[in-house]
Structure 1
Amino acid sequence: MTKSALDAWFAANRVAILADYYSLLRFPSIGGDPAHLPDCVACAEWVCAFLRPLGFTAELVRGDGSKPPLVLAERPADASGRTVLLYGHYDVQPVDPVDLWETPPFEPAERDGRVHARGAQDDKGQWFALLQGLRAAIENGERLPAIRIVLEGQEESGSGFLAEQALDLRRRLAADVLLVADTGKDASGRPAIVAGLRGVIHFTVTLRGPKYDLHSGQHGGLAPNPAQGIAELVASLHNPDGSIAVKGFCDNIVDPTEAEFALATERGFDENAYRDEVGVFPVGGERGVPAIVRNSFRPTVEVNGIHGGYGGPGSKTVIPTHAFAKLSCRLVPDQSPAHVWQCLKAHFEEHCPRGLTVELTEVTGNEPGFRLPIDSPVTRIAQDVLREVDPRGAVFTWEGASIPIVARLRDVTGAAPLLVGFGMQEDRIHCPNESFSLDQFQDAFRWGGLIFPALA
């Protein structure tokens, strides 16, 4: 099926495609919030119903029912050949702060060629567009490989249930190629083949002090202050030059090869364009290290939020009983999550302010980073297909972000990961007013319509 034939099919079916897309986006499938478990189940059931008319057997894997289910689907091959496993996630990030959304986050709205809704891009829009491309190929009678699908409902909170189930499901997930639809284009809008991802650990660190909130006049200068302590503790994580100060954290870091460095840097990094898009210059991280290297090949420790004491209107003169910070660490290949975690625990114990106690909780992620070969048969097929999608062809990128389950699925299934996505910075994933342009959606559709037949 040619690109022009795919475009004609899209035009003829546009109304139905967008109607289904909007239906999918209306599910408030916030997988990290137990209150939204029924919404996650309903969303997963909707996906199964969508897949069955395409020739898939589709079912939910529920476990004990306490977590968002997996969608597991399979379609037999039209002829002997490869088996492709498509991975994506139907869960979405929380929508706070709600008052910054221009339209309700779960009521899709098209403005200026972009669909605005939570999940419009990350990740519902990406894999759904790809499946619509597959649908076009099926209706056109294209020869296709065996296709397996696993969609999870906990990617945004660590992929715990899929990680638990993966080994038991290994025969049903076994494949030659692991197709991941959860990444992005490069900054210029060219398609990108992701050749590496960072791993991730996220956790909460809490400092506890007095048994109850204290009057800051009666107890100021006497009682240790957890709010001040959490600021000191967080500040201790980095050296003045921005490098990570945690002993042992950066052990075993492997620098990029010459070929990787050349491919990563040949596109350059436009600091002014970055500033125009996000509002600040890219000056975070270790000074003296190129921006692309900092973002793609070096680990990070980032503070996601700090909370403690009174935050309402006016004043309330207290020394709070506790304070906490939410943190995430991005890891690079050869960094052991277990080793990194031990280093972090030792650091927090050593730097805990006098008179306070430290607790580490809500530890999730614990997945390593990885890099992929840049010259494999599957990669070459992807390059050819992406040249049809965009005549400029594809670039290689090494993502600073994480998809925690990919390394686990690779190890369990034996499949070669192929990470191609169509997100852009302006999509504002994880933020209010997330969106996905219809041009990006159609590129993802083309990719789906072309890559499955190419892998047959």
Structure 2
Amino acid sequence: MSSRHDRLEILDRYLRIPTISRQVTPEMIEAVRGLWRGLGLELTPLAAADGRGTPALYGELPGPEGAPTLLLYGHYDVQPTGDVARWKWQGIQCEPFVPAYFLDGRAVEPRLIGDEALEDLVLVARGGADNKGQHLSNILGAMDAVRARTACWKVKIILDGEEEHGSPNLEAIARAHRAKLAADVLIGSDGPKQKNAPTLVMGVRGLLTVNIVADNGQQASVHSGNYGNIVPNPVLPLARLIADIEERVRAWSAEHEAFRREASEVFAKWEDKAVWTPFLKPTVNINSFMSDGASLTLRRTIIPRTAHARLDIRLTPDTPLAAMRDIVQRAVADHQSRAPGITFSVETDGQPASYTSPARPEFGWLLRLLEEHGGEEAVALPILGGTLPLHVFTDVLGIPCLWIPAANSNNQQHDINEHYVLRHFYRQTALYAAIVSSRPM
């Protein structure tokens, strides 16, 4: 078999380790470490000071004496499978943790496929695109540069074990191991490319999660006829509060737009090639709105005892986490005085946006390498719509972060039938060998 076949076999073995987020066992961690150890990379578990959560895994590749340090980020946990019975590709039943391969719509055995044709294979498995295939290709490329003695960087690697449920302990891990994780720049890969073109991203939106309960103090829901105009209904006060929170967030955003102005100017040439302009502003999204005793099928004429809403507020560099949390708290306090008989309680949690300026020399350097190894013009985005824990590196550790998504568009990550077109796997390996073998001018 060719080296391409060998590397696909490594990916195949990696995807068979079912590291579902929140369900990662010590045995799975050892299986992951064993796979990498067999490739010549020793990964050490890094835990928070109090030992909670799933550890990150850390490793190093040698570089020339006095060379700068490049930190590579990925995550080895994966999403739950969803309904396993619905994992079907081209009508063929698939198992999430048993990789299946397809070429021109038919199931194939990769070992029987020619070297060049491997690029056109579609791999169906959980974690192929998100994120094992991406960080495996990156690290293999870095190892190629080290073996070829062309490396211009010392390379450090961190693999998050909790990314798929918000990386709740990554900041604590970073603070506990600050010296070990020190680096000059971080480059990571996650998510899909824009229209399958080589893609460079300079930031991610943050996320503020808000849980609000409105309570009228009753022991239970009551009859709407017998208690109407006597017992207050918590639903409308909660709805008005949410609407006011959205208005206040929009008002703040309108008055704070330094990031939005820079992004609109610097990235204008890519505006028609990628979706990013909607992500320059914050959004207030209602995940759920429920009232006590509610039913979609029963006719219940009640005044509910409580109403509960869960919001997510996507943050930009212009809308800091602390300021948005303060907006929520102030709105709750104001509405408390406007809603007699209703008590609001609120809980918030979140992580800030992260952004690295394109004025840094790494921006042009990576764009050039992306075009050289991607076969077409690269696309640059100021920010992703989603949230990744990059603030841990930019804000806590002071490391500039650049992001190179390496999965095909519409790869169905987080859904059934997650799939990875292997062209992106092989090209990413060559790209990272070139990255580690060069430096910004």
TM-score bracket, shorter-length normalisation: 0.7 to 0.9
Given that 1:106 and 1:118 are in contact with CA atoms closer than 8 Å, whether structure 2 keeps it comes out as: yes
Distance 1:306 1:139, change over 3 A: farther
Residue 277 (structure 2) pairs with residue 293 (structure 1): yes
What is the aligned partner in structure 2 of residue 72 from structure 1? 58
Matches within 5 A, 1:7-406: 9-10=3-4, 12-24=5-17, 26-28=18-20, 30-31=21-22, 36=23, 39=24, 41-63=26-48, 64-94=50-80, 102=88, 105-106=96-97, 108-110=99-101, 112=105, 113-138=121-146, 142-143=150-151, 145-187=153-195, 189-209=196-216, 210-215=218-223, 218-219=226-227, 222-238=230-246, 248=252, 251-257=255-261, 260-269=263-272, 292-295=276-279, 297-309=280-292, 314-315=297-298, 317=300, 318-351=302-335, 353-361=339-347, 363-374=348-359, 376=361, 378-406=362-390
Question: Which amino acid is the alignment partner of residue 372 of structure 1?
Answer: S
Q: Is the Cα contact below 8 Å between 1:85 and 1:149 reproduced in 2?
A: yes
Is 1:86–1:147's contact at 8 Å kept on the other side of the alignment? yes
In structure 2, relative to structure 1, the CA distance for the partners of 1:437 and 1:223 (3 Å cut) is farther
1:165 is displaced (CA, Å) by 2.6
Give the gaps of 5 or more residues in structure 1. Answer: 1-6, 275-290
Task: State how far apart, in whole Å, the 1-side matches of 2:398 and 2:296 are.
Answer: 55
Match of 1:282 in 2: none
**Deviation digits for residues 71-100 of structure 1, max 9, x if unmatched?**
122222255412111112223445557776
Give CA-to-partner distance per residue, 1:275-308, whole Å, 9 cap, x none. xxxxxxxxxxxxxxxx74332x222222223333
Aligned residues of 1:308 and 1:320 also touching (Cα < 8 A): yes
- Name 1:286's counterpart in structure 2: none
Higher-Rg structure is: 2
Question: Could you say if the C-alpha distance between residues 120 and 208 of structure 1 is closer, same or farther in structure 2, counting changes exceeding 3 Å?
Answer: farther
> What is the total number of aligned residue pairs between the two structures?
413
Tell me how far 1:152 sits from its aligned partner: 1.7
Would the alpha carbon gap of residues 406 and 137 (structure 1) be closer, same or farther in structure 2, given more than 3 Å must change? Answer: same
Following superposition, the deviation at residue 194 of structure 1 comes to 1.1
Structure 1 residue 191: Cα displacement: 1.0
Q: CA RMSD in A?
A: 3.4
Give the whole-Å Cα distance in 1 for the aligned partners of 2:249 and 2:187: 37
* Displacement after TM superposition at 1:138 (Å): 5.0
Q: Aligned partners of 1:116 and 1:309: how far apart in 2?
A: 42
Cα deviation, 1:328-360, whole Å, max 9, x if unaligned, reads: 222222433112211111123333555332222
Shift of 1:238: 3.7
Cα distance, 1:57 vs structure 2: 3.4
Identity of aligned residues (%): 26
For residue 430 of structure 2, the aligned residue among 432, 442, 446 is 446
Given that 1:84 and 1:176 are in contact with CA atoms closer than 8 Å, whether structure 2 keeps it comes out as yes
Q: Alpha carbons of 1:153 and 1:228: their partners in 2 closer, same or farther (altered >3 Å)?
A: farther
Change in Cα spacing, 1:176 to 1:8, as seen in structure 2 (3 Å) is farther
Q: Contact 2:15 / 2:132 at 8 angstroms: preserved in 1? A: no
Q: CA deviation at 1:448?
A: 2.8
- Any unmatched runs of 5+ in structure 2? 89-93, 106-120
Q: Is the 8 A contact 1:79 1:144 kept in 2?
A: no
Contact 1:333–1:370 (CA under 8 A) maintained in structure 2: yes
Q: Secondary structure at the match of 2:130?
A: coil
Deviations 1:355-389 (A, max 9, x none): 3322222x33232432422450x333323321232
- 8 Å CA contact 1:184–1:420 kept in 2: the answer is no
Residues of 2 paired with 1:422 and 1:170: CA distance?
Answer: 28
More divergent stretch after superposition (101-110 vs 379-388): 101-110
**Counterpart residue type for residue 52 of structure 2:** S
8 Å Cα contact 1:123/1:182 also seen in 2: yes
SS for the counterpart of 2:57 is strand
TM-fit CA distance, 1:118 = 4.0
| 1:248 Cα deviation after fit | 4.1
Q: Partners of 1:15 and 1:155 in 2: how far apart? A: 24
> What SS does structure 2 have at the residue aligned with 1:175?
coil
State the shift of 1:101 in Å. 5.4
Instruction: State the AA in 2 paired with 1:364.
Output: D
CA distance in structure 1 between the partners assigned to 2:312 and 2:168 by the alignment = 16
